[in-house]
Amino acid sequence: MFKRILSGLLVSAMLTGSVIYLAGCSNSNSQNGSDDNTSTKTSTEYAHADKIDNGTILQCFSWDFNTIKESMADIAASGYTALQTSPINACLEGEDGGMQLYGDGKWYYHYQPTDFKIGNYQLGTRDEFKAMCDEAEKYGIKVIVDVIANHTTPTTSAISQDLIDAGGGSLETLYHKNNAYDLTDYSSRLACTTYKMGGLPDINTERTSFQDYFIAYLNDCIACGADGFRYDTAKHIGLPDDPKEDDGFTNNFWQRVTTEVNNADNLFMYGEVLQGNNERLADYMEAIGHTTASTYGGKIRSSIINNTLSKGTISDFWVGSAPLNMVTWVESHDNYINDGNWYSMTKEQVLLGWAIITARKDGTPLFFDRPYNSSVDNEWGMNRIGTEGDDMYKDKSVKAVNFFRTAMIGEEESIVNPNSDSTAVMIERGTKGAVIVNTEGELETGFETNLADGTYVNRADGKTKYTVKNGKMTSDANIPENSVVVLYNEGYKEYADTAEVGVADDTVFNIEKGKTATVTLTCANTDNAEYVLNGGKSVAYKNGDKITVSVPESSDIATLVLTAKNSNGVKTYERVVFAVEEKYSVAKGTKVYFEKPDSWGDQIFAYVYNDELYENETWPGLKMTKESDGKYSYTFEDDWETPYIIFNDGDEDGSQQYPADKGLIVEDGKTYTLN
């Protein structure tokens, strides 16, 4: 339902893992903990954990395969061990192939499969996926594919015949018998694993022929270069001892997909198991290998937002007696989009949370990269599927703590509140390293630490020095508010600052047809930034240069590609897209009509909104007036710029709306029908 707008060279082995350095030759020195490592020598030989468990994962949310491939150097330079794609299966081509994250297109279409074969119009082809995996291999980056086995698109007419045949030959056999029921009682394991969730048809994952079909899809992903899988909605697929329908099949889906796929012993697999009523977290960890730790993410967000980083809250993973085989996060894409975290938590606060979860010994941290140019005032930013997300994923503090994590493999952890100040927390790893996060006010040094005596430089800012002597940490400067301090010497490698390219924060990404826009370009840490506009020639630019952008007559978008290299020749890439905007005005007093289908309820509403996030009322909108001829009318009470309208019969379960996606253009006096 449409909701309201605000909706391979092994160099050192350690205790529990090892580090791999790839892609180039090093000229830096690693020194012991008691020495001051302030060398200006730099390396392009990036230290990545040899196992995904010990490293970090970048969630490339709605990036297409070519964008990920072009961004691989940046991903490696930022210290990630693995990247996670959005679902790469075939999916519904909604809104005539529109490519907005939300609006004229939908990010979630690839989470609603039409077939289990590689490639879709949003992310790219199978060949492009393989080329992306090949590029990742060059940099030592592992590839995790987000997969969905639990459900399909609700637009069942779009489901491929091959999938239907694999599901027993009909839509009825593809799905569970209980698919006729909507899931409301999450405490019932039978309902949770066989009922329809959120309107999404529930696949009978116990059917052997479907399992065979899905395993073939997984093996094709592996053949292309996938190193692991994230299972979406995993808790809605039954465990071996869960109750099930009387259909002659057994609950063996997890046993088969974790053991019968190629290279099974070397794959990293985890399931999305959102914590709540009767979710059986420990059992899913045993069945799949790893699960998410959603409650911990919520505790981290709350701690950062409220400036209360108590040791007890931070140290507890909130998984009970379950083993610590978990993927942790500050926020997931669902938290960002559906839970409103996009406006309740700033990017800077996300980075503080990331430092905490990544500095820790246990868990495998996942970094969700927010949409490009998004903010607490603009959920979708540039609002484009396929392009790179926000530069926050390669922030200096993120890079510093990612490499810290790799250097600390095998070290135990200690969590304390420095000076007993609960607005700050310090995660120490043995005597080798420490990460300090301070959320409120300046934090005075002079507190106790387990760090070995010596002089340390904050790897997050590259300059501030800290001295440890006789178990006390001191510095000439206090630790600023909303800052991250990353301290370690042993295992540290000096890397050149990443080149930065982009457009000004106030850039508007919609251009009226036939008009132009002036765009300010930005760059830093480079002397060779270049741009290519609409496939033209490459042009050098400097920070602050302005260019004129227009949409070609033969297209509905303008494409701006920005590239640069840093002092070590490491490439940075960004693709910026400007879309045509068709503007029109609607005057106060404009009146429209709607013919209600017989199957709808008797109270009809008009929900009006525009791209500036104005709405006539929160969903379902304002009640329409029933006219004498049986039609329903709505009169605009204000002037509007480029509004869209959706007709519906309320927000109760089973309610109807037209259209199902983006609203209709408003035309004075028009009668709208479903035909």
Q: How confident is the model at residue 20 (pLDDT cuts 50, 70, 90)?
A: low
Bridge partners for 90 per DSSP: 115
Output the pTM of the full model: 0.88
The confidence score (pLDDT) of residue 44 equals 63
The confidence score (pLDDT) of residue 10 equals 29
Q: How confident is the model at residue 463 (pLDDT cuts 50, 70, 90)?
A: very high
Burial of 113 (0-12, 13-18, 19+ CB in 10 A): buried
Question: Domains along the chain?
Answer: 500-581 (2.60.40.10), 585-672 (2.60.40.10)
Q: Are the beta carbons of 62 and 385 closer than 8 angstroms? A: yes
CA triplet 284, 282, 353: central angle to 5 degrees? Answer: 95
Segment 553-575, tens digit of pLDDT: 889 999 999 999 999 999 999 99
Could you give the angle at which helices 347-359 and 294-305 cross, rounded to 10 degrees?
130
The confidence score (pLDDT) of residue 585 equals 95
Q: Are the beta carbons of 499 and 47 closer than 8 angstroms? A: no
Segment 310-354, tens digit of pLDDT: 999 999 999 999 999 999 999 999 999 999 999 999 999 999 999
Does residue 24 register a pLDDT over 90?
Answer: no
Q: How confident is the model at residue 27 (pLDDT cuts 50, 70, 90)?
A: very low
Strands 516-524 and 538-540: unpaired
The confidence score (pLDDT) of residue 21 equals 54
Strands 46-49 and 57-59: unpaired
Single out the catalytic residue among 70, 146, 272, 283: 272
Does residue 441 register a pLDDT over 80?
Answer: yes
Mean pLDDT of 467-478: 98
Q: SS3 string of 184-247?
A: CCCCCHHHHHHCEECCECEECCCCHHHHHHHHHHHHHHHHHCCCEEEECCHHHCCCCCCCCCCC
The confidence score (pLDDT) of residue 35 equals 43
DSSP state at residue 617:
S
Does residue 2 register a pLDDT over 70?
Answer: no
Upper half-sphere CA count for residue 655 (Cβ side, 13 Å): 20
Place of tokens 């082995």: 13
In angstroms, rounded to a whole number, what is the distance separating the alpha carbons of residues 634 and 67? 44
Burial of 143 (0-12, 13-18, 19+ CB in 10 A): buried
- State percent of the chain over pLDDT 70: 93
The confidence score (pLDDT) of residue 653 equals 80
In angstroms, rounded to a whole number, what is the distance separating the alpha carbons of residues 355 and 417? 15
Token pair of 173, please? 């056999």
Q: How far apart are the first and last CA of the chain?
A: 20
Single out the catalytic residue among 232, 279, 390, 574: 232
Does residue 362 register a pLDDT over 90?
Answer: yes
Q: Are the beta carbons of 253 and 271 closer than 8 angstroms? A: no
Segment 650-664, tens digit of pLDDT: 988 888 999 887 789
- Respond yes or no: is residue 104 known to be catalytic: no
- Closest alpha carbon to 174 in 189, 154, 152: 152
Does residue 627 register a pLDDT over 80?
Answer: yes
The confidence score (pLDDT) of residue 19 equals 63
Segment 166-224, tens digit of pLDDT: 999 999 999 999 999 999 999 999 999 999 999 999 999 999 999 999 999 999 999 99
The confidence score (pLDDT) of residue 332 equals 98
Q: Are the beta carbons of 238 and 251 closer than 8 angstroms? A: yes
The confidence score (pLDDT) of residue 37 equals 41
Does residue 39 register a pLDDT over 50?
Answer: no
Segment 300-312, tens digit of pLDDT: 999 999 999 999 9
Does residue 89 register a pLDDT over 60?
Answer: yes
Give the chain's length. 675
Q: SS3 string of 75-86?
A: HHHCCCCEEEEC
In angstroms, rounded to a whole number, what is the distance separating the alpha carbons of residues 19 and 9? 9
In angstroms, rounded to a whole number, what is the distance separating the alpha carbons of residues 369 and 393? 6
- Respond yes or no: is residue 165 known to be catalytic: no
The confidence score (pLDDT) of residue 14 equals 31
Helix, strand or coil for residue 394? helix
Does residue 435 register a pLDDT over 60?
Answer: yes
Does residue 3 register a pLDDT over 50?
Answer: no
Q: Are the beta carbons of 50 and 60 closer than 8 angstroms? A: no
Does residue 7 register a pLDDT over 50?
Answer: no
Helix, strand or coil for residue 344? helix
H/E segment holding residue 433: strand 433-438
Q: How confident is the model at residue 612 (pLDDT cuts 50, 70, 90)?
A: confident
Does residue 34 register a pLDDT over 60?
Answer: no
Does residue 40 register a pLDDT over 70?
Answer: no
Average pLDDT, the chain: 93
Order of strands across the sheet with 424-429? 413-416, 424-429, 433-438, 483-488
Segment 110-156, tens digit of pLDDT: 999 999 999 999 999 999 999 999 999 999 999 999 999 999 999 99
